[in-house]
């Protein structure tokens, strides 16, 4: 193998082997040391290495798997960027941050074992890792920087641990497979477009966190449909964000009318306690609320609305023929029968006086 090593620093690899074994005694791998090594499939790093520089394995398109030993205390940016065949990486547990564009355009990446003490994920760290299905963030996580998971189209599960303070701009942009996010109460900052997954997202947020429309995008992106080219193609009634979401802290005036309706129906569906601004909105526009409930078959929302007295009975009766769910219709008819029976009992009682 051909290495240029100076004072313990591996400056350059010039071999053509599929496996590179870095000599013991090397303490640092310099910037770009393996840049563009086309045949390289695996690298064995000795536990004498403490530092790995910027773009070290950039564009090693055949590299498949690598272990960063626990001796490594520093990583430069972009070390695995554009490693198109990279599938699995295990990191040193001594690392507390992953720098920017660490895995940029690693299209085959499927498994990453993160350091146990990781606190920060850098900008665009996993951008366009389109095969990554899930990621487990350690409990020490504090900051996720801008575009960290941008366009991770296969990402379907990621936890956000208590202690996380900041989610940057466009962090989950284009993560169309991501179906649910549970926000920790420790969050202090959420950037623009952070949750613009362009898919159907269930978002759970504690009372202390205000969810702003700009967190989905600069408009509201709750009922917009984008084509494969990323351009707006018009509304798609079956593809809006924040379905089944529990958001107890929003300012409805920030949201467009249809978004307000979606938020109100979600509130009814996930009802835990009365929230005045939602109740007031539903009472002011029960027609729009009921229209969405019937169109989307959100029957739990309807039943909660009726039990809370937020939608008038006569409005329900006028729309009863549109409710084609047999179980729900039976519930409504039984409710109507009981109401009439109670009214008759009241009349009988009054007649007795």
Average pLDDT score over residue span 64-74: 95
Place of tokens 């709750």: 222
The pLDDT confidence band at residue 349, using thresholds 50, 70 and 90, is very low
Identify any residues that bridge with 66 across adjacent strands, giving them in sequence order.
43, 89
Burial of 285 (0-12, 13-18, 19+ CB in 10 A): middle
Tokens of 342: 């109670």
pLDDT > 90 fraction of the chain, expressed in percent and rounded = 69
> Does position 228 have pLDDT exceeding 90, yes or no?
no
Question: What's the gap between Cα 132 and its chain centre?
Answer: 13
Q: Is the pLDDT of residue 31 over 60?
A: yes
Question: In this structure, are residues 101 and 77 in contact, taking their beta carbons and an 8 Å threshold?
Answer: yes
Q: Residue 234 pLDDT > 50, yes or no?
A: no
pLDDT, averaged across the chain: 88
Query: How far apart, in whole angstroms, are the C-alpha atoms of residue 119 and residue 117?
Result: 6
What's residue 217's pLDDT?
Answer: 67
Distances (CA, A) of 348 to 335, 345, 353: 20, 5, 9
Cα 119 to chain centroid, rounded: 18
pLDDT tens column, 182-224: 999 999 999 999 998 888 889 999 999 999 888 986 555 455 4
From the number of C-beta atoms within 10 Å of its C-beta (0-12, 13-18, 19+), residue 287 rates as exposed
Contact 262, 285 (CB under 8 A): no
- Cα distances (angstroms) measured from residue 345 to each of 49, 52, 341, 349: 85, 82, 6, 6
Averaged pLDDT for residues 9-19: 93
| Kind plus residue range of the DSSP H or E element containing 295 | helix 286-296
- Give per-residue pLDDT as tens, 103-116: 999 999 999 999 99
Largest CA distance in the chain: 107
Residue closest to 94 by CA, chosen among 113, 115, 79, 112:
115
Write down the pTM of the prediction.
0.86
The arithmetic mean of pLDDT across residues 68-84, rounded, is: 96
Between 155 and 246, the higher pLDDT residue? 155
- Domains, the chain, ranges and CATH? 1-118 (3.80.10.10), 261-353 (no CATH)
Taking the C-alpha atoms of residue 301 and residue 263, their distance in angstroms, rounded to an integer, is: 11
pLDDT for 240 equals: 57
Q: What local confidence, expressed as pLDDT, does residue 225 receive?
A: 46
């Amino acid at each position: 193998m051909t290495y240029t090593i100076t004072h313990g620093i591996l400056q350059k690899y010039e071999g053509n082997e599929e496996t590179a074994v870095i000599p013991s005694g090397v303490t640092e791998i310099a910037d770009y040391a393996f840049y563009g090594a086309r045949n390289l499939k695996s690298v064995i790093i000795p536990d004498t290495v403490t530092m790995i520089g910027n773009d070290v394995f950039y564009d090693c398109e055949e590299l498949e798997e690598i272990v960063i030993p626990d001796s490594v205390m520093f990583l430069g940016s972009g070390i695995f960027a554009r490693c198109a065949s990279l599938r699995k990486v295990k990191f040193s547990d001594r690392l507390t941050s992953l720098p920017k564009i660490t895995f940029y355009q690693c299209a085959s990446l499927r498994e990453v074992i993160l350091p146990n003490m990781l606190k920060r994920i850098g900008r665009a760290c996993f951008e366009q890792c389109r095969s990554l299905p899930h990621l487990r963030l350690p409990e020490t996580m504090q900051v996720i920087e801008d575009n960290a998971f941008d366009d991770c189209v296969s990402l379907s599960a990621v936890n956000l641990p208590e202690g996380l303070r900041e989610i940057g701009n466009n962090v989950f942009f284009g993560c169309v497979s991501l179906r649910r996010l549970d926000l920790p109460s420790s969050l202090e900052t959420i950037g623009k477009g952070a949750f613009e997954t362009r898919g159907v997202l269930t978002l759970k947020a504690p009372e202390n966190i205000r969810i702003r429309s700009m967190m989905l995008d600069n408009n509201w992106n709750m009922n917009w449909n984008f084509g494969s080219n990323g351009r707006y193609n018009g509304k798609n009634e079956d593809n809006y964000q924040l379905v089944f979401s529990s958001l107890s802290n929003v300012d409805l005036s920030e949201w467009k009318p249809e978004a307000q309706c979606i938020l109100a129906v979600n509130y009814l569906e996930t009802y835990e306690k009365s929230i005045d601004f939602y109740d007031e909105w539903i009472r002011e526009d029960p027609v729009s609320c009921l229209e969405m409930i019937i169109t989307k078959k959100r029957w739990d929302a309807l039943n909660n609305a009726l039990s809370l007295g937020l939608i008038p009975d006569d409005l329900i009766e006028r729309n009863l023929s549109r409710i084609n769910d047999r179980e729900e219709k039976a519930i409504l008819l039984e409710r109507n029968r009981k109401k009439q029976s109670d009214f008759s009992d009241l009349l009988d009682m009054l007649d007795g006086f």
